[in-house]
Structure 1
Amino acid sequence: MEKTSENTVQVWKNKKIKHWMLIAFFLCFYDIVAVNLSYIFGLFIRFDLTFSAIPKEYMLAYVKFAPIYTAFCVVVFFVFKLYNSLWRFASIGELSRIFLASIVTTIFQTVGITLLFMRMPVAYYIVGAGTQFVLITAVRFAYRYVTLLRAKQVTNQVAVHNAMAIGAGASGQMILKELTMSELANARPLCIIDDNPNKWGRNIGGVPIVGGRDCIMESVKKYNIDQILFAIPTASPENKRDILNICKETGCEMKQLPGVYQITNGEVLLSKMKPVAVEDLLGREPIRVNMDEIFQHLKGKTILVTGGGGSIGSELCRQIAGHEPKQLIIFDIYEN
């Protein structure tokens, strides 16, 4: 039984290796076609899109140098790891490697064919190099693009919340990226709030930055938001308190990052977000008091609560009203 299990694992590993090698083979085959088509396209452009107009000496030089150039490109692409990257996660690092590999092969093409055979038209070098870079890059990032589209479709299908992100900084961007890409996310990001006016009217990954904290109430209604994600771990206690108190008035579910350490540890994830607690609305550590003693002191008294219409004041009024005051007077300049 144990032997059979080991064999199964080995077969599974072999399949994985073969799959990886198959992808590398097709990429290599594609690159061979692409690098050769790119430079013949340069000649095609140079001579008015007519093959018959291309001088024989140019075609002969191209055909003789093509095998040398093809072999050199394949080696360079292997050296720059263009055949063993996980292209579904391709980013600026992979793009940089493609760019550097293209520079190396372009220099080799320019110097090699000129010294070994003859000087080619300028369009041959420029158009060929540009076309090669586009073709080599396109096939690799097309896979990532398709993967992102599929992930976004899955996220939209399973999403049960319409989310608003507070903060268009580094943490906010990572939260939005995970909401968009993760198949486990259960919310779709619809808008972003940030107090920096320079960011208003712009977007992150297609999600609009609609304005500052004054736009929170309006945006919640406009986008039918039911979940707010506070993603400014570096916010001062005062700013955090003010923003969260506005968010509390919306009645939405609220979550936040525990602290700035997530940024340095690379742990800015949805799973790290926690519900907003009462002490977060205070903007300071809560003071522990003997509530029974206080409520006993309020019994039978006439009590005035200033600011009683706000989030903290209204909760205070509810607590007082439940402990037999003689009269409870609420004063507030808030229109509600």
Structure 2
Amino acid sequence: MSRVIRIAVLMLVDAVLINIALYSALLLRFDGHIPSNFIEGQMILAPIFTMVFLLAFFAFGLYNRLWEYASIGELTSVFTSVTIAMGINSVVFMYISSPGGYLLPRSVMIIFWVLTIFLIGGSRLSWRLFRDYAFRYRNSQNGSNGRNVLIYGAGDAGSIICKELKNTSGDSNLIGFIDDDPTKKNYKLLGYPVIGDRTNINDIVRDYQVAEIILAMPSQDGKTIREIVEVCQQTAATVKILPGMYDLIEGNVTINEIREVKIEDLLGRDPVKVDLEAICDYIQDKVVLITGAGGSIGSELCRQVIQFNPRKIILLDHCENNVYEIELELQREYIDCSSLDVLVPVVKDVRDWNAVKNVFQTYSPEVIFHAAAHKHVYLMEQNPEEAIKNNVMGTYHVAKAAELFKSEKFVLVSTDKAVNPTSVMGASKRVAEMLIQHMDKHSKTSFVAVRFGNVLGSRGSVVPLFKKQIAEGGPVTVTDEKMIRYFMTIPESVQLIIQAGAMAKGGEIFVLDMGDPVKIIDLAKTMIKLSGFEPYKDIEIVITGKRPGEKLYEELLSAEEGVNATFHKRIFVAKPNGLNTRLIEDTMKSFDNCIHPQSLEETRCFLQAFLPSFQIIEENKEQKPTSIKTIDNSQDKQELTI
């Protein structure tokens, strides 16, 4: 049916209903026996009243709505438009009627108003009721072919999913809701019962043959979600989840948005929120340099920074493919053809001072995010001198250029492995922190570092490794049953980095409150279950033993550092330690003369000068890992870092 014909039909139906309401009002007023003079009055007023009502309905958009999806909002519009039209009609009625003889009794107008609301509103609602009935009838006819669905959460989000399921002609048969609020049990939401809570979910899934459970609790914290997922995974049903509260508020939730549960949904804390206004102030219309721009952190920095309208973004990376891919993505997703000069791809190595100096001389970056680094613990134990060249000397080169060319801010991307380091990688990042803290004391550039834990999904991290191992049928390798780590998502870590730049006064080491740590073996079990398998039954978990440089427990602060709060409730500042000024300045002079460690022994001496208690642990090739089930580390070179 075309739009014009649809509107014409609706207007015709409304005109008939208005006249029925007026005539019914007279019948009710006179108990079915209407005097002839009032019938004549009705015939005079009916065309005027009808015209006023139809114009009011047009003004309030009643003919531009899809009434098969009618809700409280649409019925409110009906009430408002009928009431205003009745007010106008009452004025017309009083004006036309003679002082002594009204065309209609005045009480009829009140009855007329009530009946019009009832008939017009009822006609609209009937479309919705008919559609819902048709949907349920179709599901009852096709019920044997559809999958039974249970919604966990009988709140706002649950009602939205319920409506979406009703509005979608898919193969889903909604059984009802489960909710942990005892006051909701045995009540109905949109006609579907709240059957029970998590304590009897196994029985519900079995009795109702539920194939899919949808978690509709976008405001719950990760710890609660993790507990609920663990309960649901004990059933035979597939577990899916609704996106976060932000998507719900923005109205972006549809059936297509419901997805499989991801590891980031199970983090034991709320996501980090940033001060967008403060970020805008120091990035907007500035030249921003991002080193390591093609890496996991660097590429996400590019994606987020570009949204704050910088004048230019310099994409620096030593790998040409990385630079090419991130530039292509940013051009495609974030900027138009007229703004292509915003991106400056640069293939350079931070270990090359002349190359770094040339970049600063050419583009004069005002804000620097230094994400270029070697990060894999195990590889840096095997190649320790490379960790010093890239993570320490490379940081010095970029920081030195920032000071020389008077940049405003320099933000170093650091790691929790820099705290009481037991690995070469962690020790090299701690020395890099010391360097920029020293440089901040004598520079107009604000030098700061941002320290956070493991990043979910970054290259070489544990989550992609576990996914690959599960896809290959196992085994999943875990270094130690007691090993725990703090986790955050890539977007969260980058938001912290950018926020730290906005908060920087100079010399700070910013630390994120990362919530509860996660046991790696529990993470492995959860990922196996999320993939539809049973740990130790379908997929084995193998304990390989802790390798050189790895710690069982990561720390965010050393005992000497302590912590100060900031205005951001999730970000803290480590109190600065005493720095060995002479050692740092001698090291900087050595780097200026291209002198740096060239061997394992020279690297050991270099790091111990800064961190006297640090030891490089050489791998014992003869030692086998102690575990529940063991494999040789030499056959498992894929497990790069946790």
TM-score normalised to structure 2 length: 0.41
Residue aligning to 1:241: 226
CA distance in 1, matches of 2:84, 2:627: 86
Are the aligned partners of 2:149 and 2:212 in contact in 1 as well (CA < 8 Å)? Answer: yes
| Aligned sequence identity (%) | 27
Residue aligning to 2:477: 291
Residue aligning to 1:204: 189
Matches for 1:179-218 after TM superposition, within 5 Å: 179-183=165-169, 185-218=170-203
CA distance in 1, matches of 2:137, 2:192: 15
Are the aligned partners of 2:152 and 2:217 in contact in 1 as well (CA < 8 Å)? Answer: yes
Flag the 1:327–1:167 CA change in 2: closer, same or farther, 3 A: closer
Matches for 1:290-329 after TM superposition, within 5 Å: 291=477, 315=535, 319=540
Matched, 1:45 2:19: no
Flag the 1:241–1:102 CA change in 2: closer, same or farther, 3 A: same
Displacement of 1:204 after TM fit? 1.6
Displacement of 1:293 after TM fit? 5.5
Alignment partner of 1:226: what SS?
Answer: strand
* Larger helix proportion of the pair: 1
Displacement of 1:160 after TM fit? 2.5
CA distance in 1, matches of 2:136, 2:256: 19
Residue aligning to 1:302: none
Residue aligning to 2:58: 78
Match of 1:26 among 2, 6, 9: 9
CA distance in 2, matches of 1:245, 1:200: 22
Matches for 1:94-109 after TM superposition, within 5 Å: 94-109=74-89
Are the aligned partners of 2:480 and 2:543 in contact in 1 as well (CA < 8 Å)? Answer: no
Flag the 1:108–1:215 CA change in 2: closer, same or farther, 3 A: same
CA distance in 2, matches of 1:166, 1:55: 61
Are the aligned partners of 1:76 and 1:105 in contact in 2 as well (CA < 8 Å)? Answer: yes
Residue aligning to 1:304: none
Which amino acid is the alignment partner of residue 24 of structure 2? F
> After the TM superposition, which of the residue ranges 278-287 and 100-109 deviates more from structure 2?
278-287
Which amino acid is the alignment partner of residue 21 of structure 2? S
Greater CA radius of gyration, 1 or 2?
2
CA distance in 2, matches of 1:241, 1:74: 55
Are the aligned partners of 1:167 and 1:192 in contact in 2 as well (CA < 8 Å)? Answer: yes
Which amino acid is the alignment partner of residue 169 of structure 1? G
CA distance in 1, matches of 2:184, 2:204: 16
Matched, 1:113 2:73: no
Displacement of 1:123 after TM fit? 4.2
CA distance in 2, matches of 1:64, 1:327: 94
CA distance in 2, matches of 1:109, 1:279: 60
> After the TM superposition, which of the residue ranges 276-285 and 19-28 deviates more from structure 2?
276-285
Flag the 1:37–1:292 CA change in 2: closer, same or farther, 3 A: closer
Number of aligned residues: 293
Displacement of 1:107 after TM fit? 1.8
CA distance in 1, matches of 2:72, 2:16: 25
Displacement of 1:316 after TM fit? 5.9
CA distance in 2, matches of 1:46, 1:264: 48
Are the aligned partners of 2:243 and 2:253 in contact in 1 as well (CA < 8 Å)? Answer: no
Deviations 1:263-290 (Å, cap 9, x if unpaired)?
A: 1332222322222357767858889499
Are the aligned partners of 1:165 and 1:231 in contact in 2 as well (CA < 8 Å)? Answer: yes
Flag the 1:114–1:93 CA change in 2: closer, same or farther, 3 A: same
Alignment partner of 1:291: what SS?
Answer: strand
Are the aligned partners of 2:479 and 2:543 in contact in 1 as well (CA < 8 Å)? Answer: no
Displacement of 1:315 after TM fit? 3.1
Which amino acid is the alignment partner of residue 132 of structure 1? T
Unaligned runs of 5+ in 2: 270-453, 466-475, 482-524, 545-625, 630-642
Deviations 1:186-226 (Å, cap 9, x if unpaired)?
A: 32111211122222221222111123221312222232212
Residue aligning to 1:60: 40
Displacement of 1:182 after TM fit? 0.4
Flag the 1:320–1:178 CA change in 2: closer, same or farther, 3 A: closer
Flag the 1:103–1:204 CA change in 2: closer, same or farther, 3 A: same
Which amino acid is the alignment partner of residue 246 of structure 1? V
Flag the 1:292–1:110 CA change in 2: closer, same or farther, 3 A: closer
Displacement of 1:23 after TM fit? 1.9
Flag the 1:254–1:20 CA change in 2: closer, same or farther, 3 A: same
Residue aligning to 1:307: none
Flag the 1:215–1:112 CA change in 2: closer, same or farther, 3 A: same
Deviations 1:6-55 (Å, cap 9, x if unpaired)?
A: xxxxxxxxxx6xx22222222222222222221221111122223xxx23
TM-score normalised to structure 1 length: 0.74
Match of 1:219 among 204, 211, 219: 204
CA distance in 2, matches of 1:70, 1:224: 54
Unaligned runs of 5+ in 1: 1-15, 296-310, 329-336
Which amino acid is the alignment partner of residue 107 of structure 1? G
Measured on the aligned residues, the alpha-carbon RMSD in Å equals 3.5
| Higher RCO (C-alpha under 8 Å, 6+ residues apart) | 1
CA distance in 2, matches of 1:252, 1:109: 59
